[in-house]
């Protein structure tokens, strides 16, 4: 029985929220939901983010942070370089990391690769 709307919500959205609440359902405006998701992604504790990676993403993370190129990673695990690039971008988004240096730092901090 909760509804969340921005103060400047359109009247039709307000009506939709009231109907949902009256029916015992929850309602959150799409704009607020998007804002919450964006805030969560940017502030997500990276300590727990590793749990959301698939085994393939973890393997690619390890290989990339060991200094291997997309081509070398692809050859090592039997994927195309383009697929490795896609996995790499996805895992960086999941971890909230936007550059290779931060990715390597993350991998070292979490014991994925040793500090030599």
pTM tops 0.75? no
| Domain spans in the chain, listed from the N-terminal domain onward | 3-43, 46-109
Q: Supply the pLDDT for residue 72.
A: 95
* Better-scored residue on pLDDT, 4 or 70: 70
CATH class, 46-109 region: mainly alpha
DSSP-derived secondary structure for 41-101: HHH--HHHHGGGS-HHHHHHHHHHHTT--HHHHHHHHT--HHHHHHHHHHHHHHHT--SHH
- What CA–CA distance (Å, rounded) separates 21 from 50? 36
Q: What is the pLDDT of residues 56-96, one digit of tens each?
A: 988 999 999 888 999 999 999 999 999 999 999 998 888 88
What percent of the chain shows pLDDT beyond 90?
21
Q: Supply the pLDDT for residue 45.
A: 47
Quote the DSSP letter at residue 3. Answer: E
């Amino acid at each position: 029985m909760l509804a969340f709307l921005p103060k400047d919500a359109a009247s039709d959205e307000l009506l939709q929220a009231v109907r949902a609440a009256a029916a015992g359902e929850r309602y959150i405006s799409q704009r607020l939901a998007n804002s919450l998701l964006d805030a969560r992604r940017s502030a997500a504790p990276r300590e727990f983010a590793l749990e959301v990676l698939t085994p393939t993403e973890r393997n690619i993370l390890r290989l990339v942070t060991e200094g291997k190129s997309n081509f070398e990673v692809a050859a090592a695990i039997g994927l195309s370089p383009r697929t490795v690039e896609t996995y790499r971008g996805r895992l960086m988004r999941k971890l909230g990391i936007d550059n290779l240096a931060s990715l390597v730092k993350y991998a070292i901090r979490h014991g994925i690769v040793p500090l030599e």
